[in-house]
């Protein structure tokens, strides 16, 4: 049970990154269906960063983790910037652009990891799994003494805590600061926000790119924080995680603080299949659980239809100032 | 004298562009994307070939042998069918992202008929049953989200996406039950294969192409000439107008999605019955997503979409050859190139719809209204949806914009109060800027 809860939190953190990134993007009025691809890009960038910093004999753990995060954010942010340029400046359809981002990001990641970072190569694979085990899954020493409390709450790698910290920061920024207020105003009605003098384009670009960068850490968190970095079809799983993260945004009613709990629930649902002892062919039926629950959540939230659970009013619409 | 900053880039809407000009821009965009890919691939390939060898390989992969040509045609036909299925839903502004799942569940239904009934009943009867089962399964897979969309306005894009994965794991489950050896693979079944026209790849391809032609003609007529097609586009334009015109919106949504799913199910039937004779979890080949791009790039017009589907399959199959010729081992390279072309293609639409003006003189004197005359091209048929012709002082412009906004959206009613409340808060916390930024 403790192991299950601990794994649920670890897997939930991946959802949390994707979900918080998407919330930030959607608050600016942009429905980014490219999150799966962007999370893949994060995995690609993170693995590159880790490979570069683990070249030497005894790599510095802090440096490796920071460099992995930095590269993940740069790669994911780059694809986010492409999405932002297309949807904000060129005013393309957001759904279509997002899907292209997903197709491109998944393809790029598969190619990049296998042919450029060469994760199948023996030395690279051993370096990556070494970094994954010792740095990305590093625990605070001596937590075994605390029993179940330590296993569930303290026995995680640095990325899991980073996810929670980022979620809290985004929640505070959106709810309590002027910047967050401006951003929410843009998401609700960009024309009014523009009239007030808020730099709509600037805010949209910033929100989309930062959101993408946060989601990108999620990809790294899966490839090195959950698996050990040498899965050659990592983009398939990350795409599934990405779609579920977008659904999670609806579940959490666009609130990063709620997302912390919600993502752990989804994490538990996602890994549930490997903790229930049934015949192997029923495993694939158990893997349906998170998708079924997501559908239920979508239906229930739409039936309730409360004002609080509605998306930002101009979500998915391009803003052209001179249109009337 | 106080000086006001003018935006460097100023964007206006264009008049509708002549067809040839739009086509030129699109071809240009695709060409740029191809050249960029060619440069990168020929520069970084493990096996050094020239820049032009890229295009050679592209063509030889798509058209090199007779078999390749027929395979290209077959994939085009299948992709076109999926895209047409999706177009019916898109016309209604229903984002059916579940093409993959609808195809896959059609495949599964077809494979079930083959597995359980093949060899026991006569082949024609099983084939008929396969057809019915696939089409029905696809339709059901699309109708489930449609019902919830119609009655509760549930988010359809995520719903259909989740249905994709449910279909995928159902396929995995049945393969594991049928062939419990743990590999998750299924051998081709010998019984109840669809008839072919003669031998070879051509014989297998022709029935599929025939099906695609029929589907294309049907969807074209359905959307263009039938009453149903009119209702679909009316619901897409405005649900309230449709309701006012006496259309049962819920019925239209469900009926349209049943059609959309049924067409995807048909593709599943062709894939299993005619092409593969077995089912796998990746049998959809991501056609649901590619189909969306085909529909979008083809402007929802069945005839243009046929061309786009051919072009995308030309690229995919050509890139497979490029992979081998340039010594790459990873087939994902083709996704990158195709993705790049999508980016350029959807990006170039901007230059067809909008016109960009550059104001290189960054500041103008406030008192001298010389903004409009010389540095903006005065195209004859150009439509300036624009209120700055005489350059009123900026503060007044903002005020005017605010008033217009209120007029535009109507008085702020109780239900529309959320955005304006927030905006008013934003006004009070923020000083007005004395400059106007543009893009």
Segment B195-219 shows an average pLDDT of 85
Tell me the residues of chain B between 2 and 31 that have a Cβ less than 8 Å away from chain A.
11-13
Q: What pLDDT does residue B410 have?
A: 40
Q: Which residues of B touch A93 (CB under 8 A)?
A: 296, 346
- The reply to whether B352 touches chain A by the CB within 8 Å rule is no
Segment B125-148 shows an average pLDDT of 94
pLDDT tens, residue by residue, A86-103: 999 998 999 999 999 999
Q: Distances in Å between the alpha carbon of A47 and those of A81, A99, A319? A: 21, 24, 37
pTM: 0.85
Which of A95, A237, A295 best tests the B interface by mutation, with the highest count of B CBs <10 A?
A: A295
pLDDT band at A153 (very low <50, low <70, confident <90, very high): confident
User: Does residue B391 or residue B60 have the better pLDDT?
Assistant: B60
Give the closest residue to B13 by CA, choosing from A317, A97, A196, A91: A91
Segment B394-414 shows an average pLDDT of 45
B46-327: CATH topology: ABC transporter involved in vitamin B12 uptake, BtuC (1.10.3470)
pLDDT of B383 over the 50 cut? no
Distance CA B396, CA B79 (A): 54
Q: What pLDDT does residue A74 have?
A: 95
- CATH number of A2-122+152-319: 1.10.287, 3.40.1000, 1.10.3470, 1.25.40? 1.10.3470
Q: Two tokens at B131?
A: 């057809």
Radius of gyration of chain A (CA): 20
ipTM (interface predicted TM): 0.91
Q: What pLDDT does residue A324 have?
A: 62
pLDDT of B429 over the 50 cut? no
Angle made by CA atoms A251, A257, A258, in degrees to the nearest 5? 30
pLDDT band at A53 (very low <50, low <70, confident <90, very high): confident
Sign of dihedral through CA atoms B386, B387, B389, B392? negative
User: Does residue A132 or residue B339 have the better pLDDT?
Assistant: B339
Taking an 8 Å cut-off on Cβ atoms, the answer to whether B158 and A294 are in contact is yes
Residue of B nearest to A291 (CA): B162
Residue keyed to tokens 């959101």: A211
Residue of A nearest to B147 (CA): A299
Taking an 8 Å cut-off on Cβ atoms, the answer to whether B338 and A103 are in contact is yes
Q: Is A299 exposed, middle or buried (0-12, 13-18, 19+ CB in 10 A)?
A: middle
pLDDT of B33 over the 50 cut? yes
pLDDT of B260 over the 70 cut? yes
Residue of B nearest to A102 (CA): B339
Tell me the residues of chain B between 396 and 425 that have a Cβ less than 8 Å away from chain A.
398, 401-402, 404-405, 408-409, 418-420, 422-423, 425
pLDDT of B152 over the 60 cut? yes
Distance CA B265, CA B257 (A): 12
Highest mean pLDDT pick, A222-231, A270-279, B142-151, B390-399? B142-151
Taking an 8 Å cut-off on Cβ atoms, the answer to whether B432 and A196 are in contact is yes
B139: Cβ contacts below 8 Å, ≥ 6 apart = B258, B259, B261, B262, B265
pLDDT tens, residue by residue, B279-317: 888 888 889 999 999 999 998 888 899 999 999 999 988
Closest Cα in chain B, distance from residue A104 (Å): 5
Domain ranges for chain B = 3-19+356-438, 46-327
Taking an 8 Å cut-off on Cβ atoms, the answer to whether B342 and A102 are in contact is no
Share of chain A above pLDDT 90, in %: 51
Taking an 8 Å cut-off on Cβ atoms, the answer to whether A280 and B182 are in contact is yes
Segment B244-262 shows an average pLDDT of 93
Distance CA A95, CA A89 (A): 15
Contacts 24+ apart (CB under 8 A), A258-264: A259/A16, A259/A19, A259/A20, A259/A23, A259/A167, A260/A16, A260/A164, A260/A167, A260/A168, A262/A15, A262/A19, A263/A12, A263/A13, A263/A14, A263/A15, A263/A16, A263/A19, A264/A8, A264/A9, A264/A12, A264/A16
pLDDT of B320 over the 80 cut? yes
A153: Cβ contacts below 8 Å, ≥ 6 apart = none
- The reply to whether B323 touches chain A by the CB within 8 Å rule is no
Residue keyed to tokens 């599943």: B268
Residue of B nearest to A109 (CA): B332
pLDDT of B399 over the 60 cut? no
Domain ranges for chain A = 2-122+152-319
């Amino acid at each position: 049970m403790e192991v299950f809860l601990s794994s649920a939190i670890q897997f939930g953190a991946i959802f949390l990154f994707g979900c918080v990134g998407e919330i930030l993007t959607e608050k600016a009025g942009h429905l980014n269906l490219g999150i799966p691809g962007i999370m893949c890009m994060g995995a690609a960038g993170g693995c590159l960063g880790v490979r570069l910093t683990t070249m030497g004999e005894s790599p510095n753990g802090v440096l490796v983790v920071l460099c992995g995060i930095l590269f993940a954010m740069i790669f994911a942010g780059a694809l986010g910037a492409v999405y932002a340029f297309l949807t904000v400046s060129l005013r393309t359809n957001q759904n279509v652009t997002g899907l292209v981002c997903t197709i491109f990001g998944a393809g790029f990641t598969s190619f990049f990891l296998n042919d450029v970072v060469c994760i199948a190569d023996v030395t690279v694979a051993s370096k990556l799994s070494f970094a994954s085990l010792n740095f990305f899954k590093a625990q605070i020493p001596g937590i075994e003494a605390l029993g179940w409390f330590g296993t569930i709450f303290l026995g995680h790698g640095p990325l899991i805590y980073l996810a929670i910290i980022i979620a809290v920061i985004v929640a505070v920024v959106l709810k309590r600061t002027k910047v967050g207020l401006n951003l929410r105003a843009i998401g609700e009605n960009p024309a009014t926000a523009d009239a007030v003098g808020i730099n709509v384009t600037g805010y949209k670009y910033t929100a989309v790119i930062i959101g993408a960068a946060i989601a990108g850490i999620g990809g790294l968190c899966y490839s090195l924080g959950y698996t050990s970095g040498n899965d050659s079809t990592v983009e398939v799983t990350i795409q599934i995680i990405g779609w579920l993260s977008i659904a999670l945004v609806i579940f959490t009613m666009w609130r990063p603080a709620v997302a912390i709990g919600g993502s752990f629930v989804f994490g538990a649902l996602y890994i549930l299949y490997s903790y229930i002892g049934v015949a192997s062919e029923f495993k694939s039926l158990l893997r349906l659980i998170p998708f079924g629950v997501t559908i239920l959540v979508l239906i229930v939230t739409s039936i309730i239809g409360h004002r609080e659970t509605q998306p930002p009013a101009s979500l998915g619409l391009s803003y052209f100032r001179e249109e009337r | 004298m106080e000086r006001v900053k003018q935006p460097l880039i100023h964007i206006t809407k264009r008049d509708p562009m002549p067809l040839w000009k739009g086509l030129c821009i699109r071809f240009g965009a695709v060409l740029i994307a191809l050249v960029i890919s060619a440069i990168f691939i020929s520069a970084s390939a493990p096996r050094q070939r020239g820049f032009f060898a890229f295009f050679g390989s592209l063509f030889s992969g798509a058209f090199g042998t007779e078999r390749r040509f027929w395979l290209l045609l077959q994939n085009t036909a299948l992709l076109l069918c999926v895209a047409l299925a999706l177009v019916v839903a898109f016309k209604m502004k229903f984002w059916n992202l579940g093409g993959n799942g609808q195809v896959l569940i059609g495949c599964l239904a077809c494979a079930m008929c083959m597995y359980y009934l093949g060899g026991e009943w006569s082949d024609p009867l099983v084939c008929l049953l396969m057809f019915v089962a696939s089409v029905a399964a696809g339709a059901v897979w699309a109708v489930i989200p449609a019902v919830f969309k119609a009655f509760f306005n549930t988010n359809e894009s995520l719903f259909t996406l989740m249905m994709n994965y449910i279909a995928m794991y159902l396929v995995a489950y049945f393969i594991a039950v049928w062939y419990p050896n743990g590999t998750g693979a299924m051998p081709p079944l010998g019984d109840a294969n669809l008839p072919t026209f003669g031998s070879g790849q051509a014989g297998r391809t022709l029935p599929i192409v025939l099906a695609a032609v029929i589907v294309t003609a049907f969807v074209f007529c359905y959307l263009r000439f039938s009453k149903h097609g009119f209702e679909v586009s009316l619901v897409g334009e405005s649900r309230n107008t449709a309701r006012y015109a006496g259309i049962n919106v819920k019925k239209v949504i469900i009926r349209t999605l049943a059609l959309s799913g049924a067409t995807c199910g048909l593709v599943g039937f062709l894939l299993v019955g005619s092409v593969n004779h077995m089912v796998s979890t990746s049998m959809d080949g991501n056609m649901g997503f590619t189909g969306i791009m085909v529909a979008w790039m083809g402007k929802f017009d069945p005839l243009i979409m046929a061309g786009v589907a051919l072009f995308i399959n030309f690229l995919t199959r050509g890139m497979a050859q490029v992979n081998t010729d340039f010594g790459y081992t990873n087939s994902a390279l083709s996704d990158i190139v195709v993705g790049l072309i999508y980016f350029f293609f959807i990006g170039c639409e901007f230059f067809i719809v909008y016109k960009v003006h550059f104001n290189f003189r960054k500041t103008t004197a406030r008192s001298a209204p010389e903004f409009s005359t010389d540095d903006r091209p005065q195209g004859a048929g150009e439509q300036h949806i624009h209120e700055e012709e005489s350059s009123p002082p900026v503060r007044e412009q903002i005020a005017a914009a605010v008033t217009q906004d209120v007029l535009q959206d109507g008085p702020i009613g109780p239900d529309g109060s959320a955005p304006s409340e927030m905006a008013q808060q934003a006004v009070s916390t923020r000083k007005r800027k004395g400059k106007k930024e543009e893009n």
